[in-house]
Structure 1
């Protein structure tokens, strides 16, 4: 049997705020097979984005293990996590997180350069053309619409050909038409590159495009909802 590409076992996440420690996630156990698209749904505050951050090593579990491609993210230091993400993961956020002083081409090429790709700019241009921005390579984020900026963010995430693609409410800042276009592109890139996709969304119709849906309630996997999918 093939090992899952992502495997979480008894994962908890506790954050400390002004009011003291707050337990965000409670004993999450979850396996994700390679190539699967998984939709994480649930109300605001249910822990969806926190779970995604744990999967990407962007947040560190308080207890339990988070395995990605056979590597335990919970024992890696920040430099090791950054290298692992650069080699194996692409992340798309609700906020585009583009570098404002760089063109679209430079935004996509920079992580490729950091990863040692000699064809960084050629590959970045190809990815931008794949998301319909061939005419916008030299434009800066401020010169582009929200939908165009999210396309740049998608191209940046997909260009390194990641094994795992993490998307946190990627349509949250977009109108309906742009949001639908971004989702079409996201699933198209997933299919083209064979990545495993983890999608956090409030929108049930978007989650239903995934192979599998997992619901969260109050930081726990909603067993009743998962069984009903």
Structure 2
């Protein structure tokens, strides 16, 4: 399908730990279309975050196929995956992952600079203004509230104008008011830039705002898990 930006075919993920090999994902097949907002929901330990990481090439699938914008992530090495993410994907984590020694402006400008954008700081400033932090560009993460730090992280992910935005519990560390603000900003990205958004969330309110909700249970898509019972 021409409008499919993410396509997973029979994807599995098994990881070795202290108790031996653990099967995290079990035969996931899923397509995500251009400009779609998709929520991944399910109980803790069901594989939601692992699925998101596989979609972004941050975790290598044990078997199956993962296509992003028609590119097979499984055949790329770490450098190629990093370049692909830099140009096509934005990732927002629950724990922000801001660089503490950099200001908000520098944090947002960094991926643009890495991509060779000569207007990195101008674009970073404009993105911070979009998320309501125009007056906080010179502040370091420790000088910002949790909600402000997540806004910086969102601005950093959105600044390169990625076709695909992946968000792992983007409102999980925030109170209701800040969570609602981040929710609105995330949905605004699709409207402003046409980004495809896939997010892991425990928030029913946030999931309800998405075009589609996919539930995972024990490493399987819910309908497959139910059929197996």
TM-score normalised according to structure 1 size: 0.97
Structure 1 residue 3: Cα displacement: 4.5
Q: How does 1:52-71 map to 2 (within 5 A)?
A: 52-71=52-71
Structure 1 residue 89: Cα displacement: 0.2
Where 1:8 maps in the other structure, the secondary structure is strand
1:49 is matched with which residue? 49
Q: What do the CA deviations read for 1:21-57 (whole angstroms, capped 9, x no partner)?
A: 0000000000111111101000000000000000000
Say if 2:127 is the partner of 1:133: no
The whole-number CA distance in structure 1 between the counterparts of 2:28 and 2:123 is 38
Where 2:112 maps in the other structure, the secondary structure is helix
Change (3 A) 1:172 1:75: same
Return structure 1 stretches of 4+ with deviation > 6 angstroms: none
Q: How does 1:1-229 map to 2 (within 5 A)?
A: 1-223=1-223
Where 1:161 maps in the other structure, the secondary structure is coil
Q: What do the CA deviations read for 1:171-222 (whole angstroms, capped 9, x no partner)?
A: 0100111101111111112211100000110111211100011000000001
The whole-number CA distance in structure 1 between the counterparts of 2:178 and 2:31 is 32
The whole-number CA distance in structure 1 between the counterparts of 2:30 and 2:86 is 23
The whole-number CA distance in structure 2 between the counterparts of 1:81 and 1:224 is 30
Q: Is the 8 A contact 1:11 1:63 kept in 2?
A: yes
Q: Is the 8 A contact 1:108 1:152 kept in 2?
A: yes
Change (3 A) 1:136 1:83: same
TM-score normalised according to structure 2 size: 0.97
Q: CA RMSD in A?
A: 1.2
Q: Is the 8 A contact 1:14 1:21 kept in 2?
A: yes
Q: What do the CA deviations read for 1:72-124 (whole angstroms, capped 9, x no partner)?
A: 00111000000000000000010000000000000000110000111000000
The whole-number CA distance in structure 2 between the counterparts of 1:211 and 1:147 is 25
Where 2:135 maps in the other structure, the secondary structure is coil
The whole-number CA distance in structure 1 between the counterparts of 2:10 and 2:224 is 19
The number of residues matched between the two structures is 226
The whole-number CA distance in structure 2 between the counterparts of 1:54 and 1:225 is 20
What runs of 5+ residues in structure 2 fail to find an aligned partner? none
Where 1:149 maps in the other structure, the secondary structure is helix
